[in-house]
Structure 1
Amino acid sequence: MLDPLIEGLKALWAGLVALAKGLWHSILWPFRAAHRFVMRRKIWIRIVIALLILPVVIGYALLIWNAAWIRDYDPAYPDSFDTASRTVSAGDQVAVEATGNAAQTCGRSYTVDAVAYLTDFNVNKNNWMSSNPLYKLGFFGIDWDRTWILDNKAAFQRGIHQAIGRTAIEMSDRLGRVRGTSQIDPNLKSARGSLQFDQYTWFINPVGDRPFGPTTRSQTYYRSAIKSLNAYQSDLVSCKATFDARADNLMQFIDRIANDIGSTSASLKTRAEAYNAGWFDTRADDIFWNAKGQLYAYYGILKGARADFSDIITSRGLGTLWDEMEAQTLSAINLDPLIVSNGKEDGWLMPTHLTTIGFYILRVRSNLVELRSILDR
């Protein structure tokens, strides 16, 4: 009875092995052809060719080394913000008057801490992959995002960057201004501009929309944003800057985050419905890791917002719902499949990881919508 099933599995395995061998030979063919060409040349020509090839080999070795894994990845990173030591909401005054040598102090913003930490995580603790020239060149002309390898980290970083860019806009436009009508804080404005900079720029612009020539790398702008955020934090703690921790600001901030992850959920749904290639969907891993990076960032940002708006969250009785939202976000972050598969939802052989993480995103968004609804009453 099981013979047809066993034979079918054997045939499937043989097909997979043949496909792997074909891909492997296709990858090795250019290198073998190049090796035969070089070995037929004179020794001094070989030396010149070796000197030309060596920087490329080193460059690709560094690319593989940097793309192989995410450094300092830790779902519990918001614990480092020490929100438990908070005594007042962000921007509220701690010392009413300066007495003697005691300086006037106000509550810090843990949302700002989260954005600064995540930006540092992206460009200092890890190498920013998207502007790496060899990453941009692709794999024999194929965009790395359309392969199975070396692209997950870049997708994860871009997901984080999407979340911190959205948060930087909210901080400069609303949270860092009195009722959204006062002058924009110069440090938040600078941070917002730096974080909105193109993600793919290296030292030299290629021929394209912008003039060819030397320029500033993306990660240099992002590092500048960290300095601006830290400067704003220093001003805030010394009561020279504003953090407007009002209920309507929290409501709008939550609304923006819900819309942002709602867009990600739609992308996951579209890919899951339109393609059912299982383990052979070369774009599924990028979409999955991009969504995971976005949730990784919002987990810390929302932890920070909970401390910044603590008085409002307590007075409105949002603690339990907020705990549930954080738990759902953490569950999504902890998804870590060895190979991301985009199979059919009712498939028995290849799972559908896009639908799985999409389910958690919808749960998180549902919690956010409910939080917003309570704040709007």
Structure 2
Amino acid sequence: MRFGRNKLGHNNDSLTSRTVGLALAVLLAVYLLVCLILGWYWSREPGLEPVAPTPGPDTTLVVGSTTARTVHGLMYTLLQKPGGFTGNDIFPPGVWLDNMPSWEFGVLVQVRDMSRAMRRDMARSQSQSQEDPDLALAEPRFNFDNNSWMFPGSESEYRSGLRALNRYIRRLETGEANFYARADNLASWIGDSSTRLGSLSQRLSSSVGQAEVTEEGRHYRKTPWLEIDDVFFEARGSAWALLHLMRAVEHDYADVLERKNAMTSLQQIMRELEATQQPLYSPVVLNGSGMGILANHSLVMANYLSRANAAMIDLRRLLEQG
């Protein structure tokens, strides 16, 4: 009798262990499936709809409102899109993503460049003028490390920058702050943006390898295979943000652009940037050889950015002419 009870107890323990193991396996599978679905949803890029906050009925837009509101809208989109800001995530599914954090970084760089241009040039009448106090708070916070997840987290610093930018926008639209839409201010920012596009274009072109001749000799440079998609989505995010900023510039600097006969060049830039946002139907970023069977998405993106950069160089030249 004692032996029978032990055998029965052993069988019950084995059955319980198998049940617990099966339950844990099912929970793990469900968890991974949920993470997979969330990761796919969080990786969807925002569209080309305007990002600038809609002004209220009692708000009067002034020169500079559209640019400042667009910068606000770009940063707000980074924080409030599905999944929020994923660049500093340490838990699944965000920690498994690489394309969306790269896209976010491309947008962030454009926000940083424009906020610096606003603080340095656009909100000041001349180089000896005092800088705007709210832009002086916003710009360094937008330049905070995008990989910090706590003490402080990247999001908290970016939200602090948004609050300072909001204060500047309110003061601007009530006549208490300034925005100077001059050709030299715009040309300076165009020069910075052109440099960004040139660098991205070179990194994209290096997906197939590139011979570089320097004083030290001939070097062969190629983007590592595992980084190709990161560079591609960084370029895509940067072009997305730059397109929105160009639309804002078209509005706020309309008089300057018309006077310099530069509106056509600006519109050419926007057409090329719009082409970078075409849907990517391939599940992965392909890296075929230049004349091979498979496409090379990096080279296609580099082509659009190079043409946009050429138009930006023309635009800057027109702005700098007397």
Structure 2 length as normaliser, TM-score? 0.79
Code of the residue aligned with 1:112 in structure 2: it is A
Aligned-partner Cα distance in 1 for 2:122–2:233? 29
Aligned to 2:79: 123
Matches within 5 A, 1:155-166: 155-166=102-113
CA contact (8 A) 1:155 1:290 kept: yes
| Residues 1:344 and 2:289 are matched in the alignment | yes
Matches within 5 A, 1:1-377: 61-62=34-35, 65-66=38-39, 68-70=41-43, 73-77=46-50, 106-126=62-82, 127-134=84-91, 144=96, 150-203=97-150, 215-273=151-209, 281-338=225-282, 339-347=284-292, 349-377=293-321
Aligned-partner Cα distance in 1 for 2:15–2:59? 75
Code of the residue aligned with 1:310 in structure 2: it is A
Q: Give the SS at the match of 1:365.
A: helix
Shift of 1:136: 10
Aligned-partner Cα distance in 2 for 1:55–1:229? 44
Shift of 1:106: 4.3
Unaligned runs of 5+ in 1: 1-38, 84-101, 139-143, 145-149, 204-214
Shift of 1:58: 5.5
Code of the residue aligned with 2:267 in structure 1: it is D
Provide Cα deviations, 1:126-171, integer angstroms capped at 9, x if missing partner.
3211111136996xxxxx5xxxxx3211111111111111111111
Aligned-partner Cα distance in 2 for 1:231–1:66? 35
Aligned-partner Cα distance in 2 for 1:228–1:335? 35
Structure 1 stretch displaced more, 291-300 or 312-321:
312-321
CA contact (8 A) 1:156 1:289 kept: yes
Code of the residue aligned with 1:74 in structure 2: it is G
Aligned-partner Cα distance in 2 for 1:122–1:258? 23
Code of the residue aligned with 1:167 in structure 2: it is M
Shift of 1:107: 3.4
Code of the residue aligned with 2:107 in structure 1: it is I
Structure 1 stretch displaced more, 106-115 or 241-250:
106-115
CA contact (8 A) 1:179 1:244 kept: no
Provide Cα deviations, 1:6-57, integer angstroms capped at 9, x if missing partner.
xxxxxxxxxxxxxxxxxxxxxxxxxxxxxxxxx98986xx69x96xxx8998
Aligned-partner Cα distance in 2 for 1:188–1:59? 43
Shift of 1:178: 1.6
CA contact (8 A) 1:288 1:357 kept: yes
Shift in CA distance, 105/197, structure 1 to aligned 2, threshold 3 Å = closer
Aligned-residue CA RMSD (Å): 3.5
Code of the residue aligned with 1:132 in structure 2: it is D
CA contact (8 A) 1:67 1:129 kept: no
CA contact (8 A) 1:342 1:352 kept: yes
Code of the residue aligned with 1:113 in structure 2: it is R
Shift in CA distance, 227/200, structure 1 to aligned 2, threshold 3 Å = same
Code of the residue aligned with 2:200 in structure 1: it is T
Aligned-partner Cα distance in 2 for 1:56–1:216? 34
Shift of 1:124: 1.2
Shift of 1:298: 0.3
Shift in CA distance, 273/231, structure 1 to aligned 2, threshold 3 Å = same
Aligned-partner Cα distance in 1 for 2:188–2:299? 28
CA contact (8 A) 1:153 1:289 kept: yes
Provide Cα deviations, 1:312-348, integer angstroms capped at 9, x if missing partner.
011111122211111111011225242211111111x
CA contact (8 A) 1:341 1:351 kept: yes
Shift of 1:301: 0.7
Code of the residue aligned with 1:75 in structure 2: it is L
Code of the residue aligned with 2:304 in structure 1: it is Y
Aligned-partner Cα distance in 1 for 2:149–2:32? 14
Aligned-partner Cα distance in 2 for 1:172–1:354? 34
Aligned-partner Cα distance in 2 for 1:105–1:121? 21
- Identical-pair percentage: 24
Q: Give the SS at the match of 1:107.
A: coil
CA contact (8 A) 2:246 2:266 kept: no
Shift of 1:288: 0.9
CA contact (8 A) 1:261 1:361 kept: yes
Aligned-partner Cα distance in 1 for 2:59–2:230? 49
User: Number of residue pairs matched?
Assistant: 293
